[in-house]
Amino acid sequence: MRTLVLGGSGFLGSHIVDRFVAEKHDVTVYDLYTERYRRTPKGVQFITGDFGNVGALDEVISSGFDAIIHCVSTTTPKSSDESAEFDIQSNVIGTVRLMDICVRRGIGKLVFLSSGGTVYGDVGDIPAIPESHGVTPICSYGVSKLSIERYLSVYHHLHGLNYVSLRLSNPYGERQSPHRALGALTVFLYRTLTQQPIEIWGDGSVIRDFIYAGDVASAVHQASVGPLKGVFNVGTGAGTSLRELVAEITRAVNMEPRIVWLKSRPFDVPRVVLDCTKLKTATEWKCLTGMQEGISKTAAWLRDAEAS
Amino acid sequence: MRTLVLGGSGFLGSHIVDRFVAEKHDVTVYDLYTERYRRTPKGVQFITGDFGNVGALDEVISSGFDAIIHCVSTTTPKSSDESAEFDIQSNVIGTVRLMDICVRRGIGKLVFLSSGGTVYGDVGDIPAIPESHGVTPICSYGVSKLSIERYLSVYHHLHGLNYVSLRLSNPYGERQSPHRALGALTVFLYRTLTQQPIEIWGDGSVIRDFIYAGDVASAVHQASVGPLKGVFNVGTGAGTSLRELVAEITRAVNMEPRIVWLKSRPFDVPRVVLDCTKLKTATEWKCLTGMQEGISKTAAWLRDAEAS
């Protein structure tokens, strides 16, 4: 099976590539740069290109693929609000162009990485959110992810485009940069390991559903090879507050971080935990990596990356 | 009260302008052209400009308005699917730029004309759709309208932008072009009056909620002057099949049209009737114009326009 991973050099992309390589797929990565933290894995074809370059993208896709995994995002929940226009221009229009190519080139399946953490918005105290829940994003990032999902649905309806949209909770793991403004687990872990203070916006009661990137990658694989269609949550189904996260990290690495408390941010919703019953019912997928194991793997990589 | 009507020279815009003028507002219209079927109404200031020209738009808005009515649409449900990219570029990005200006210039309220006819998609046999119903548009037009609604909500959340989004059913009335691919009532009526055959896609069982444009204009006025906030349906609450519509037209003008039956189109949903309880509960608004009266008014205008 020939698989193209757009944005395959990124954090999640690298885990997805690993999974497909392990499953003996013929993997091509299209990205601006090769991976930052390691060489391109053996057997993977790497093509340099910008997601916004529709001509180059079309040429790559014209060689034919059974599945395309779209992991490109030019924004984060925080940066998206600095310019909603840039978010729409690069992500929404970029993905609509990709859909046009997929229809024209007869691509078997398009798998899109959406955001369970932002599309639902502030749902209150719901223990775990199913896909059928209403959506009220409170940041541009969530709106653009939802817009893309809706265009996928329209393209399916009008042109028969076969797609899966995976609404991820909060992924973490090896090769997630500890220096960016997202990925609380990896950032907190890195700062604990390097004895820097952790910054927490709000009182630490914010609850998230942290999922190990390897488990996300196996969901992407299931979505690509099986008959799956439509929108699916991908998370652990379990919530962890930022305070509990600090305790988990402390236990896993046996180091206690110092915390700096900051004012809460308007785009952080109090609780997002995803109900993943739909994906578990439709496939064999399970979330296999517990938080202690995930933290240990990530810590091992951070120590290595730090040392190198 | 100073009111700016973007796209005020269009069909709906002209009814909205009439309503605001009748209510003694200070009305400015910003549009590419003056009205097609009549002179600019007395007392209305007309400014020539393109909605996509962000600098010109900003200069107009910098003079300060209590309310801005956004009636611009560069696409129709049918044309939107010819290029989703154009739809996003001109309508979604255009409106996000408008929102940026409204926030910067401290505009009191932004009223957006959304589409109850397309945002819900195919809802099956639901007698009348409330705003709380799930949304699954099956054309790009519906996706872009929804995206704009979501950005309005995010801008309200992040920047305090005060907005109302009105999801219109199927408006008809004077100054709706009878030569375009939308507005079934006016097109059918015109073709009946001029003894040309009516084209019906499908078997005529498609049900719509036809509302007279003057009633839409009074809803827009209520939305602009009152404390209304958020998303509201604007329709009659009553469904009329295309077959029934032909019978209503026959009765109102005492002429029987010839019908050409065509294959159904993938973007036409079987039934869309809007439940407008939310708007009626929040305001004094009522739909005052019955279908026979509305058809008669529209027929009188079509005869005049045809004669001139």
A9 and A31 in contact (C-beta within 8 Å)?
yes
Number of domains in chain B: 1
Residues of A in contact with B151 (CB under 8 A): 84, 140, 143
Cα–Cα dist A119/B177, whole Å: 39
Residue A266, pLDDT above cutoff 80: no
> What was the pLDDT predicted at A26?
98
Between chains, do B158 and A85 touch, taking CB under 8 Å as contact? no
Q: What is the mean pLDDT of chain A?
A: 95
B54–chain A nearest CA distance, Å: 12
Q: Do A143 and B158 touch (CB under 8 A)?
A: no
Please indicate, yes or no, if residue A42 is contained in any of the structural domains: yes
Q: With contacts defined as CB-CB under 8 Å, which chain A residues touch B161?
A: none
Q: What does pTM read for this prediction?
A: 0.91
Alpha-carbon distance A83 to nearest alpha carbon in chain B (angstroms): 9
Contacts of A158 in chain B (CB under 8 A): 81, 138-139, 266-267
B156 lies in some domain:
yes
**What whole-number distance in Å separates Cα of residue B304 and Cα of residue B297?**
11
Name every chain B residue with its beta carbon within 8 A of the beta carbon of A97.
Answer: 85
- The pLDDT of residue B218 is 98
Which among B89, B139, B158 has the least Cβ separation from residue A154? B139
Q: Do B137 and A147 touch (CB under 8 A)?
A: no
For residue A163, give every residue at least 6 positions away whose Cβ sits within 8 Å of its Cβ, in sequence order, or none. Answer: A109, A110, A111, A112, A152, A155, A156, A229, A230
The nearest alpha carbon in chain A to B118 belongs to A154
A154 and B266 in contact by Cβ < 8 A?
no
Q: Of all helices (H) and strands (E), which one includes residue A214?
A: helix A213-225
Which pLDDT belongs to residue A308?
Answer: 57
Q: Cβ neighbours of residue A157 under 8 Å, at least 6 residues apart? A: B138, B266
Residues of A in contact with B140 (CB under 8 A): 151, 154
Express each pLDDT in B29-86 by its tens digit: 999 999 999 999 999 999 999 999 999 999 999 999 999 999 999 998 888 888 999 9
Enumerate long-range contacts of B44-53, CB under 8 Å, 24 or more apart. Answer: B44/B8, B44/B17, B46/B9, B51/B6, B51/B7, B51/B90, B51/B94, B51/B98, B52/B90, B52/B94
Instruction: Kindly determine whether residue B88 and residue A96, on different chains, have CB atoms separated by under 8 Å.
Output: yes
Phi first, then psi: give them for residue A95, nearest 5 degrees: -75, -35
Q: Which amino acid is it at B52?
A: G
Question: Comparing C-alpha atoms, which of B109, B278, B154 is closest to residue A147?
Answer: B154
Please give the full DSSP string across A219-245, using - where no structure is assigned. HHHHHHHSS--EEEEES-S--EEHHHH
A76: which 2 tokens?
């984060």
pLDDT digits (tens, 9 = 90+) for B113-124: 999 999 999 999
Give the residue from B97, B104, B157 with the most A CB atoms within 10 Å of its CB, the best one to mutate. Answer: B157
Of B136, B150, B266, nearest to A143 by CB-CB distance is B150
pLDDT reported for residue B248 = 98
Predicted pLDDT at B81: 87
Query: Under an 8 A CB cutoff, do A93 and B88 touch?
Result: yes
The CA distance from A136 to the nearest CA of chain B, in Å, is 7
Residue B97 confidence (pLDDT): 98
CA B46 to chain A, closest CA, distance in angstroms equals: 28
Instruction: Confirm whether B94 is domain-assigned.
Output: yes
Residue B202 lies in a domain: no
pLDDT in tens, A80-124: 888 999 999 999 999 999 999 999 999 999 999 999 999 999 999
CA distances for A227 relative to A104, A254, B210, angstroms: 21, 44, 41
Judged against a pLDDT cut of 90, whether residue A69 lies above it is answered with yes
Residue of A nearest to B77 (CA): A154
Q: Are B198 and B225 in contact (CB under 8 A)?
A: no
For the residues of chain B, what is the DSSP string, one character each? -EEEEETTTSHHHHHHHHHHHHTT-EEEEEESS--SSSPPPTT-EEEE--TT-HHHHHHHHTT--SEEEE---S--HHHHTT-HHHHIIIIIIHHHHHHHHHHHHT-SEEEEEEEHHHHSB--TT-SSB-TTS--B-SSHHHHHHHHHHHHHHHHHHHH---EEEEEE-EEE-TT--TTSS--HHHHHHHHHHTT-PEEEESSS--EE-EEEHHHHHHHHHHHHHSS--EEEEES-S--EEHHHHHHHHHHHHT----EEEE---TT--SB--B--HHHHHHSS------HHHHHHHHHHHHHHHHH-
pLDDT for res A202 = 93
Residue bearing tokens 């590539």: A17
From A44's Cα to the closest Cα of chain B, the distance in A is 32
Compare all CA atoms of chain A with the CA of B88 and give the residue at the minimum distance. Answer: A93
Looking at the domain assignment, is residue B226 inside a domain? yes
Domain assignment present for residue A181? The answer is: no
The one-letter amino acid at A98: L
Low-confidence ranges of chain B (pLDDT < 50): none
With b for 16 or more beta-carbon neighbours within 10 A and e for fewer, the A222-260 pattern comes to: bbbbeebeebbbbbbbbbbbbeebbebbeebbeeebebe
Mutate to test the interface with B, among A81, A146, A150 (most CBs of B within 10 A): A150
Q: Strands, E, within chain A: which ranges?
A: 2-6, 26-31, 45-48, 67-70, 109-115, 163-168, 170-172, 198-201, 207-208, 210-212, 230-234, 240-241, 259-262
CATH number of the domain within which B123 lies: 3.40.50.720
What does the alpha-carbon distance between residue B301 and residue A270 come to, in Å, rounded to a whole number? Answer: 56
Please indicate, yes or no, if residue A135 is contained in any of the structural domains: yes
Verify whether the Cβ–Cβ distance A138 to B146 is below 8 Å. no
From B92, B132, B138, residue closest to A154, measured CB to CB: B138
Instruction: Tell if the CB–CB gap between B150 and A146 is shorter than 8 Å.
Output: yes
Residue B87 lies inside a defined structural domain of this protein: yes
Contact A136 B153 (CB under 8 A): yes
Contacts of B88 in chain A (CB under 8 A): 88, 92-93, 96, 147
> Whats the size of chain B, residue-wise?
308
Please give the ipTM for the structure prediction: 0.86
Summary mean pLDDT of chain B: 95
Contact B114, B71 (CB under 8 A): no
d(CA B97, CA B91): 10
Rg over CA atoms, chain B: 19
Residue A150 with chain B: CB contacts under 8 Å: 136-137, 142-143, 146-147
* Contact by Cβ (8 Å): B288, B242: no
Q: Which residues lie closer than 8 Å to B170 by C-beta, 6 or more apart?
A: B117, B183, B184, B185, B208, B209, B210, B211, B235, B272
Q: Using a CB-CB distance cutoff of 8 angstroms, which residues of chain A are in contact with residue B153?
A: 136-138
Nearest-neighbour CA in chain B from A93: distance (Å): 6
Query: Which chain A residues touch B268 with a CB distance below 8 Å?
Result: none
Instruction: Identify from A122, A141, A157 which residue to disrupt to test chain B contact, counting B C-beta atoms within 10 A and taking the largest count.
Output: A157
Q: What is the domain range of residue B128?
A: 2-172+209-235
Q: Give the model's pLDDT for residue B306.
A: 67
> By CA distance, what is B267's nearest residue in A?
A158
Cα dihedral: B239, B245, B247, B249 (round 10): 130
